[in-house]
């Protein structure tokens, strides 16, 4: 089962408007240069070794024949090679005259010839030639002027050097950076500067649904606008502000909005861009980045993904350790170097604040922390409004309704959703975006696009039972989140989906609710078991989620009577969602007890799931029949087909009765 508690998908936002022109060797130009070098090489050869090419190779025997006839005027010997002139042209059949030309050609008349003296050639060759009045000259094997030698010697080396430069540039281009000044620009920061005249100005208008974070930054904007107001009172500006939040919650957007509101230049760079393979480069880039920002003060520096360099020292990933530490040290040095009157403010973003080096968080550095939360329902509606500004919405496209259906989505996800909905509307040939377009796109965003796989009727039925199992339990277990969609269309990893969403955003989860969820999660397998009596692999994801939840109940939330309120596992990264389940250091006995308690929760829930489904077998079958026919059912259709009322809310239960 997949349900509404989705994780936000990575944001694909990529706002890199016209980077300031950086000189780069285009590929075409590079090939032109290579061609030119080759041409020069060729011409030089032609120039310094004239005739080398006109000379027609002849067999040694032919050469001796001609000498005997007295037809050889002169020869020039270089090693084994003899080049020379015949007195009168010699007609050679084409196949003999040259080894290079194989096609039948008319006989050629040859005056300039060349031949190679075999190693075993007769020692009397010299007197033989002299007897036939041949002028003999010779040159050492290494010939040509020093310039030719230079060209021959260094040509290939030059080529190789060119090749490496080209490779290097290509690599750095692929790394996403524009290296100003080639090899020597390594230490230059690749910071992108956004100027508000050039780029569409981003202001707080464009940021919605994260008001608390926004409010904390309003003060910074004021400082950048009227620094005197603060410095006159002896107040120093905050130097570093750490924006902490899940991916896609709008941290980058906020930083840009601060710059946009304050009308100051914005220098942005991602932590991972600092760290190159060459040690020392990261630090140099940091220096350069801060230098640029100081030159343009008041200004804002934004370092995205600071965790990739700010990881606690000594704990860095193998390999990049010393480079990462140097880069981090440089950032610390630069920030300490601020006099306090400098109007440069450093914003940094991370979604793993707990792994940051403590030194980064000390006073005078990133001592302020602004938490950017996932938007709540009202926030989501506001973000939807921002991103549908330029889209024609149909009457029925109730953004409040869309917001209610999208718990857990980040700002970036919502932006994506708006775009997908508009695309879908266009694909459907509509003039306006309807509610249905949003709902249908949502499924694609959460689960991935439809997968065109062909399932056998038996498999389809099994999947229908699995999903219906989840759905029926979502209807009959008190406290379960309402089921608002069931589908057996394969998408992404899932072969089917039951989508449940809480009626309101939840911040605190009663135990009964968690148990209801576990029962629902196990409903897929339970349905398969009671109908077919056999098991398949289809419940892997359900089992994983249920186990995680049960484990958390026992080890973090004190929901096991046997273990009581003892913290047994570390809190998971709240911005990245579930991590590995891991116990704190506990005794073997306790660990065994944890396992036992987790098993108990799962087994009890499993039994209840099976019992409830047996009790509602009729409704289960009805839902399966409808699903096989229609593939996807929405909330109303589900209630209609099963004739069941929505699950009672927990508050209607006496004492949150144990399920």
Ligand X SMILES: Nc1ncnc2c1ncn2[C@@H]1O[C@H](COP(=O)(O)OP(=O)(O)OP(=O)(O)O)[C@@H](O)[C@H]1O
For ligand X, the closer CB: 244 or 647: 244
For Zn ion, which stretch binds (CB under 5 A), given 176-184, 316-324, 538-546, 567-575? Answer: 538-546
602 binds, options Zn ion, ligand X, none, Cβ within 5 to 8 A by partner type: none
Query: Closest Cα to residue 407, out of 511, 500, 521, 544?
Result: 500
Strand intervals (E) in 357-428 = 368-372
Q: Select the span of 71-79, 107-115, 218-226, 249-257 touching ligand X (CB under 6 A).
A: 249-257
CB-count exposure of residue 294 (10 Å: 0-12, 13-18, 19+): middle
* Catalytic residue from among 467, 528, 529, 597: 467
Structure tokens at 222: 């004021």
Work out the burial of residue 357: count CB atoms within 10 Å of its CB; fewer than 13 is exposed, 13-18 middle, 19 or more buried.
Answer: buried
Binds ligand X by CB under 6 A, chosen from 134, 210, 309, 488: 210
Residue window 281-320: x/- pattern of binding to ligand X, with contact defined by CB under 6 A: -----------------------x----------------
Q: Is 251 annotated as contributing to ligand binding?
A: yes
**Which whole-number Å values give the CA distances from 94 to 86, 324, 528, in the listed order?**
18, 70, 85
Kindly tell me which of 251 and 606 has the beta carbon lying closer to ligand X. Answer: 251
Q: Which is nearer to Zn ion, 249 or 487 (CB)?
A: 487
Residue of 503, 548, 551 whose CA lies nearest to 521: 548
Residue 75 makes contact with ligand X by CB under 6 A: no
Should residue 1 be labelled a site residue for Zn ion when binding is judged by CB under 5 A?
Answer: yes
Q: Which region among 133-141, 162-170, 406-414, 520-528 touches Zn ion (by CB under 5 A)?
A: 520-528
Q: Which of 3, 351, 405, 487 binds ligand X (CB under 6 A)?
A: 351
Contact segment (CB under 6 A) with ligand X among 243-251, 321-329, 512-520, 643-651 equals: 243-251
CB atoms within 10 A of CB 95: 13
Does 252 carry a binding-site annotation?
A: yes
- H/E segment holding residue 113: strand 108-116
User: How does DSSP assign 235-281, residue by residue?
Assistant: PPPP-EEEEEESTTSSHHHHHHHHHHHHT--EEEEEHHHH--SSTTH
SS3 of 250-261: the string is CHHHHHHHHHHH
Find the helix or strand (DSSP H, E) in which 575 lies: none
Mind spelling out the 3-state secondary structure of 376-387?
CHHHHHHHHHHH
Minimum CB distance to Zn ion smaller for 542 or for 548: 542
* Total chain residues near ligand X (CB under 6 A): 22
Check residue 248 for interaction with ligand X (CB under 6 A).
yes
> Which residue, 282 or 524, is less far from Zn ion as judged by CB?
524
> The tokens of 116 are what?
């190679």
Residue closer to Zn ion, measured from CB, 1 or 110: 1
How near is the Cβ of 449 to ligand X at its closest, in Å? 21
Q: Report which of 560, 568, 478, 554 is spatially closest to residue 520, judged by C-alpha positions.
A: 478
Distance (Å, whole) CA 265 – CA 344? 10
Is 470 annotated as belonging to a binding site? yes
Q: Is 542 annotated as a binding residue?
A: yes
250 in a known ligand binding site? yes
Closest separation in Å from C-beta 241 to ligand X:
14
236 is in an annotated binding site: no
For position 164 contacting ligand X by CB under 6 A, the verdict is no
- By CB under 6 A, what part of segment 412-471 binds ligand X? 412, 415
Return the SS3 of 87.
Answer: strand
Q: Does 472 bind Zn ion (CB under 5 A)?
A: no
Is residue 353 part of the contact set for ligand X (CB under 6 A)?
no
Q: Rounded distance, CA 125 to CA 84, Å?
A: 15
Q: Which does 1 bind (CB under 5 to 8 A by kind): Zn ion, ligand X, none?
A: Zn ion
**Which position among 249, 327, 605, 608 is part of the footprint of ligand X (CB under 6 A)?**
249
Say whether residue 542 binds Zn ion (CB under 5 A).
yes
DSSP letter assigned to residue 504: S
Please say if 467 is a catalytic residue: yes
By CB under 6 A, tell whether 253 contacts ligand X.
yes
CB of 201 to ligand X, least distance (A): 14
The CB-of-1 to Zn ion minimum distance in angstroms stands at 4
> Given the complex with Zn ion, which of 245 and 524 has the nearer CB atom?
524
Retrieve residue 642's tokens: 């099963």
248 annotated among ligand-binding-site residues = yes
CB 289 within 8 A of CB 301: yes
Q: Is 258 in the site for ligand X (CB under 6 A)?
A: no
Smallest distance, ligand X to C-beta of residue 207, A? 5
Query: Shortest CA distance to 204 belongs to which of 219, 194, 218, 223?
Result: 218
**Pairing state between β 72-78 and 483-487:** unpaired
Structure tokens at 359: 């030194």
Residue selected from 252, 268, 299, 330 as contacting ligand X according to rule CB under 6 A: 252
Q: How many residues bind Zn ion (CB under 5 A)?
A: 3
Q: Considering only residues 4, 177, 187, 209, which one is a binding residue for ligand X as defined by CB under 6 A?
A: 209
Closest by CA to 328, choosing from 303, 296, 301, 293, is 303
Contact positions with ligand X (CB under 6 A) in 9-28 = 11, 13
Q: What is the signed CA dihedral for 182, 185, 191, 195, rounded to 10 degrees?
A: -80
Min dist. Cβ of residue 262 to ligand X (A): 17
Interactions with ligand X, residue window 569-588 (CB under 6 A): none
Burial (0-12, 13-18, 19+ Cβ within 10 Å), 383: buried
The answer to whether 406 contacts ligand X (rule: CB under 6 A) is no
Alpha-carbon gap, residue 251 to 261, rounded angstroms:
15
CB atoms within 10 A of CB 26: 9
Q: Which of 472, 459, 456 is nearest to 527 (CA)?
A: 472
349 sits near ligand X (criterion: CB under 6 A) = yes
Q: Which does 524 bind (CB under 5 to 8 A by kind): ligand X, Zn ion, none?
A: Zn ion
415 binds, among Zn ion, ligand X, none (CB under 5 to 8 A by kind): ligand X
Tokens of residue 234, six digits: 């002896």
Q: How far is the CB of 438 from Zn ion (least distance, A)?
A: 25
**CA-based nearest residue to 573, from 356, 303, 318, 272:** 356
d(CA 298, CA 225): 8
User: According to the binding rule CB under 6 A, does residue 388 interact with ligand X?
Assistant: no
Taking CB under 5 A as the binding criterion, the range among 299-307, 373-381, 516-524, 617-625 that sits at the site for Zn ion is: 516-524
Interface residues with ligand X (CB under 6 A) are 11, 13, 207-210, 245, 247-253, 304, 349, 351, 383, 386, 411-412, 415
Interface residues with Zn ion (CB under 5 A) are 1, 524, 542
Residue ranges at the known binding site for Zn(2+) = 466, 470, 542
Which positions are catalytic?
Answer: 467
Residue ranges at the known binding site = 245-252, 466, 470, 542
Residue ranges at the known binding site for ATP = 245-252
């Amino acid at each position: 089962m997949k349900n509404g508690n989705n994780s936000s998908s990575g944001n694909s936002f990529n706002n890199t408007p016209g980077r300031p022109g950086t000189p780069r060797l285009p590929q075409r130009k590079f090939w032109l240069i290579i061609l030119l070098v080759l041409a020069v090489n060729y011409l030089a050869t032609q120039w310094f070794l004239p005739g080398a090419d006109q000379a027609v190779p002849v067999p040694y025997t032919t050469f001796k024949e001609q000498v005997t006839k007295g037809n050889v005027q002169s020869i020039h010997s270089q090693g084994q090679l003899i080049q020379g002139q015949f007195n009168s042209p010699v007609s050679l059949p084409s196949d003999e005259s040259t080894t290079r030309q194989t096609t039948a050609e008319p006989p050629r008349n040859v005056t300039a010839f060349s031949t190679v003296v075999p190693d075993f050639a007769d020692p009397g060759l010299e007197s033989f030639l002299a007897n036939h009045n041949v002028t003999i000259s010779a040159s050492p094997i290494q010939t040509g002027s020093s310039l030719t030698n230079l060209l021959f010697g260094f040509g290939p080396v030059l080529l190789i050097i060119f090749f490496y430069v080209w490779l290097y540039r290509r690599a750095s281009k692929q790394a996403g950076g524009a290296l100003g000044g080639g090899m020597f620009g390594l230490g230059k920061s690749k910071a992108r500067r956004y100027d508000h005249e050039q780029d569409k100005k981003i202001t707080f208008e464009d940021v919605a649904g994260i008001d608390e974070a926004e409010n904390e930054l309003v003060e910074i904007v004021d400082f950048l606008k009227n620094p005197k107001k603060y410095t006159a009172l002896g107040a120093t500006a905050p130097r570093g502000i750490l924006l902490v939040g899940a991916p896609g919650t709008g941290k980058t957007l906020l930083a840009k909005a601060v710059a946009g509101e304050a009308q100051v230049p914005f220098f942005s760079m991602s932590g991972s861009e600092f760290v190159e393979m060459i040690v020392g480069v990261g630090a140099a880039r940091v220096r350069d980045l801060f230098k640029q920002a100081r030159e343009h003060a008041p200004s804002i520096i934004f370092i995205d993904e600071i965790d990739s360099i700010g990881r606690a020292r000594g704990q860095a990933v193998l390999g990049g350790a010393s480079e990462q530490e140097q880069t981090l040290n440089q950032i610390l040095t630069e920030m300490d170097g601020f006099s306090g009157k400098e109007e440069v403010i450093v914003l940094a973003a991370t979604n793993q604040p707990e792994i940051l080096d403590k030194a980064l968080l000390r006073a005078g550095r990133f001592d302020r922390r602004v938490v950017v939360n996932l938007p709540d329902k009202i926030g989501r509606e506001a973000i939807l409004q921002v991103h549908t500004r330029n889209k024609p919405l149909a009457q029925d496209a109730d953004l409040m309704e869309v917001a209610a259906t999208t718990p857990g989505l980040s700002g970036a996800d919502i932006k994506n959703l708006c775009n997908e909905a508009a695309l879908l509307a266009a694909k459907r040939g509509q003039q306006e975006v309807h509610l249905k377009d949003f709902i249908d796109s949502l499924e694609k965003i959460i689960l991935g696009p439809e997968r065109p796989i062909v399932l056998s009727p038996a498999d389809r039925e099994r999947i229908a039972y699995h999903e219906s199992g989840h759905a029926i339990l979502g209807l009959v277990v008190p406290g379960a989140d309402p089921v608002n969609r069931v589908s057996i269309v394969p998408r992404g990893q899932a072969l089917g989906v039951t989508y449940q969403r809480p009626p309101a955003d939840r911040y605190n989860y009663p135990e009964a609710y968690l148990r209801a969820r576990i029962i629902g999660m196990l409903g897929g397998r339970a349905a398969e078991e009671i109908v077919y009596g056999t098991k398949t692999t289809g419940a892997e994801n359900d089992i994983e989620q249920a186990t995680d939840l049960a484990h958390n109940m026992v080890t973090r939330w004190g929901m096991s009577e046997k273990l009581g309120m003892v913290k047994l596992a570390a809190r998971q990264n709240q911005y990245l969602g579930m991590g590995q389940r891991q116990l704190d250091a506990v005794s073997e006995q306790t660990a065994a007890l944890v396992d036992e308690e987790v098993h108990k929760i799962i087994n009890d829930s499993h039994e209840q799931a099976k019992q409830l489904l047996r009790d509602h077998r009729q409704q289960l079958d009805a839902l399966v029949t409808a699903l096989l026919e229609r593939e996807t059912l929405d909330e109303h259709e589900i209630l209609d087909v099963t004739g069941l009322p929505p699950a009672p809310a927990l508050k209607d239960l006496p004492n949150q009765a144990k399920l």
